[in-house]
Every structure is written in structure tokens, then in C-alpha cells.
């Protein structure tokens, strides 16, 4: 997907013109994948643009950095304020926001010495539906990938680190080569993990089930939001390891992510899911989720952050 460039990118503490937000080719992250990043969305709402779950994303950025011992020289309130600033200064009504922290140019070598520079960049641009404009309504066809997720004790899946996405890229390439919109990866033990860039939920007999944190998933913030919204709607939610074939006999399946939002799945490995169209639970959750931005769903969790550009320090439990 081509990036719709904007005017400014926040880079190491200041706004620089889009074209000037560059790095040295000997930056550590380019060689060893030592970056951590986030993806957030700002939605246009009746009370102006609002960022969805800003504090939760900043917290996960800092958690990812901690796991990889990347010392980001900015604290959460500063990162929150910078995310707002890039949206405001680029005049965006809605946006995808991409904070990226990485080991920069210092010495070459796998293990960086203390004090190796860490850079932080935050860009924002307009980004539409991740899996295509029709996907949110009609659903997508997915396959199980021959590539499995990283096993525990190899690369930590809970960190949203650049290096992890070599796995996602292979899963995504294979799926598209085979004519599918997205690939689902199994974890090292063969149970369902997640999509290349999305968490997975299935519905069976009205119960919503999703793989647990230990299934080599990224703990998605959309996943967390969907579980909270579902419980609020009186839907039973379980985090449970799932054998692959549970997808074949599910009544409904959908994928969640900041980019993918809530995207129904209409087939897995060419087996039709349920009735083959968006199911009632998926639809109810989409309505609750998108209702947060239209004003139909009351934001009782403090998930929407206005762009007043003031760091609030508020941290909402997830």
C-alpha cells in the first residue's frame, strides 16, 4: 500500500519535513531488526479527531523496548504528546500513527554497548481498510500458512519488534501467492496463533474464543478492546488454545488489529466459515467498535483521547 505522505514527521524530539526523516545505513536496527514500533489510529468523531487507546499503545511500545533492552530516551507522556502533535500539525482528521524506536548509528556488532544511540520517530498518514475496502463487510479468504510463529524461547512474540515481522512477511507472501487475502500462522505446537498482522477470534455456539498470550501472539489492543466490548454485550469470552480444525467448524471467524480493525473471515483453506457471510456476533462487535467513533457507543473506558496536545498521564487499565 502506497503511503499518503504528510508534511511532518516527529524525529528525535522535533518535527522535520517528511523527506528529511532519514537514518544512516549503518543503523543497528537495519542490520539486526532492533526496532520496536506501534500502530495506532486516530478516528474522526463528532467531537473532533480522537486517538484510540493512546496510553495502551505507548505502554506496549515501552514494554517492547524493555523486553529488548532498548532504552527510549522519552517517557510515556512525551510520546503521547508527540503522537498527538504529528496528527495536529499534519492537519489530519483521521490517521494511522506509527511510532518507531530503534537502535541507531553507533558501532557495528550484534550486541550494542551501553549508550548506543536510540532514535524515536513518529509519523502519521491516512490509511484506509487494511485488507481492502470490501473486507469489513464481505470478509476475506484466508489460509493456514506453512510458516509457523516464533516458538517461545526464540524471539519474544509479545514484543512488537521489527525483527518479528520477517515471520509475518513470509506468512503474508505465501498467502497472497496462493490467492488468499491473509495467512494464519500456527504456533510451534500446532495450535492456532494469529494472522500475519492480526489477532484471530472465532465464534462457536455463541461463545467468543481467542488464543491466549502464550500462543505466540502479539497481545493486540484491538483484541483487548473486542473482549471488553463482547463481555459488555453479554457475550461469553474465552482465551483458549485452539486446534487448527476449530477454524473449519467455527460459526464465525474474524481478525482484529489496528490496521485491520474487525475483519470477518469467510473461508479458511477454502472451507466456508459458517454461512459464508458476516455473522451476527461479528456484526454486533463491529457495530459496538465503530460506534465508539460515531458516538453510538459510549466510551465508558476512556479509550478516546482528544488532540488537545496536553499529556494527560492518564493510564487506562487494559
| Residue among 39, 49, 104, 183 that touches ligand PPE (CB under 6 A) | 39
CB neighbour class for 268 (10 Å; exposed up to 12, middle 13-18, buried from 19):
buried
Catalytic member of 4, 14, 93, 160: 160
Assess 145 for contact with ligand PPE (CB under 6 A): no
Half-sphere exposure of 6 (CA within 13 A, CB side): 25
Minimum gap (Å) between residue 37 Cβ and ligand PPE: 8
Contact call for residue 23 and ligand PPE (CB under 6 A): no
183 counts as binding ligand PPE under rule CB under 6 A:
no
Cα 195 to Cα 7, 72, 131, 153, 182, distances in angstroms: 32, 28, 12, 20, 7
Residues 228-287 that bind ligand PPE (CB under 6 A): 256-260
Minimum distance between the CB of residue 223 and ligand PPE, rounded to whole angstroms? 6
Catalytic site includes residue 84 = no
Alpha-carbon torsion, ordered 258, 311, 304, 159, to 10 deg = 30
For ligand PPE, how many residues bind (rule: CB under 6 A)? 16
Residue 198 touches ligand PPE, criterion: CB under 6 A? yes
What is d(CA 6, CA 123) in angstroms, rounded to the nearest whole number? Answer: 8
64 binds ligand PPE (CB under 6 A): no
What are the backbone dihedrals phi and psi of residue 265, each rounded to the nearest 5 degrees, phi first? -110, 125
Burial letters 215-246, b for 16+ CB under 10 A, else e: bbbbebbbbebbbbbbeeeebebeeebbeeeb
Examine residue 222 and tell whether it contacts ligand PPE (CB under 6 A). Answer: yes
Query: Which residue, 40 or 112, has its beta carbon nearer to ligand PPE?
Result: 40
Is 125 within 8 Å of 96 (Cβ atoms)?
yes
Q: Interface with ligand PPE includes 122 (CB under 6 A)?
A: no
Closest CA to 276 of 267, 268, 285, 284: 267
220 touches ligand PPE (CB under 6 A): yes
**Residue 197 binds ligand PPE (CB under 6 A):** yes
Helix axes 221-232, 54-67, angle to 10 degrees: 140
149 forms part of the interface with ligand PPE (CB under 6 A): no
Q: Kindly indicate which of the ranges 4-12, 111-119, 131-139, 196-204 contains the residues binding ligand PPE, using the contact rule CB under 6 A.
A: 196-204
Nearer to ligand PPE, 118 or 150 (CB): 150
Q: Which residue is nearest to ligand PPE (CB)?
A: 39
Using CA atoms, how far apart are residues 286 and 7, in angstroms rounded to an integer? 32
Q: Which residues bind ligand PPE (CB under 6 A)?
A: 39, 168, 194, 197-199, 218, 220-223, 256-260
Catalytically annotated residues:
160
Amino acid at each position: 500500500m502506497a503511503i499518503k505522505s504528510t508534511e511532518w514527521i516527529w524525529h528525535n524530539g522535533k518535527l522535520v519535513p517528511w523527506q528529511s526523516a532519514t537514518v544512516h545505513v549503518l543503523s543497528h536496527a537495519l542490520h539486526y531488526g532492533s526496532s520496536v514500533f506501534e500502530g495506532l489510529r486516530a478516528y474522526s468523531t463528532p467531537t473532533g479527531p480522537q486517538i484510540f487507546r493512546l496510553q495502551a499503545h505507548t505502554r506496549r511500545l515501552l514494554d517492547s523496548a524493555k523486553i529488548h533492552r532498548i532504552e527510549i530516551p522519552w517517557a510515556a507522556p512525551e510520546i503521547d504528546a508527540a503522537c498527538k502533535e504529528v496528527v495536529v500539525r499534519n492537519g489530519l482528521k483521521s490517521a494511522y500513527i506509527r511510532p518507531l524506536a530503534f537502535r541507531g548509528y553507533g558501532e557495528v556488532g550484534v550486541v550494542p554497548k551501553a549508550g548506543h544511540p536510540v532514535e524515536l520517530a513518529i509519523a502519521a498518514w491516512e490509511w484506509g481498510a487494511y485488507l481492502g475496502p470490501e473486507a469489513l463487510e464481505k470478509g476475506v479468504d484466508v489460509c493456514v500458512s506453512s510458516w509457523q510463529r516464533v516458538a517461545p524461547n526464540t524471539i519474544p512474540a509479545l514484543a512488537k519488534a521489527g525483527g518479528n515481522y520477517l515471520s509475518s512477511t513470509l506468512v503474508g507472501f505465501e498467502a497472497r501467492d496462493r490467492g488468499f487475502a491473509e495467512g494464519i500462522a500456527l504456533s510451534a505446537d500446532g495450535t492456532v496463533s494469529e494472522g500475519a498482522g492480526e489477532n484471530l477470534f472465532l465464534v462457536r455456539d455463541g461463545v467468543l474464543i481467542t488464543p491466549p498470550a502464550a500462543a505466540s501472539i502479539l497481545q493486540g489492543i484491538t483484541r483487548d478492546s473486542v473482549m471488553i466490548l463482547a463481555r459488555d454485550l453479554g457475550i461469553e469470552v474465552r482465551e483458549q488454545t485452539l486446534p487448527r480444525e476449530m477454524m473449519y467448524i467455527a460459526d464465525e471467524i474474524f481478525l482484529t488489529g489496528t490496521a485491520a480493525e474487525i475483519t470477518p473471515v469467510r473461508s479458511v483453506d477454502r472451507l466456508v466459515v459458517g454461512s459464508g457471510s458476516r455473522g451476527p456476533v461479528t456484526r454486533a462487535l463491529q457495530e459496538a467498535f465503530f460506534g465508539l467513533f460515531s458516538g453510538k457507543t459510549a466510551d465508558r473506558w476512556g479509550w478516546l483521547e482528544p488532540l488537545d496536545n496536553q499529556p494527560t498521564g492518564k493510564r487506562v487499565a487494559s
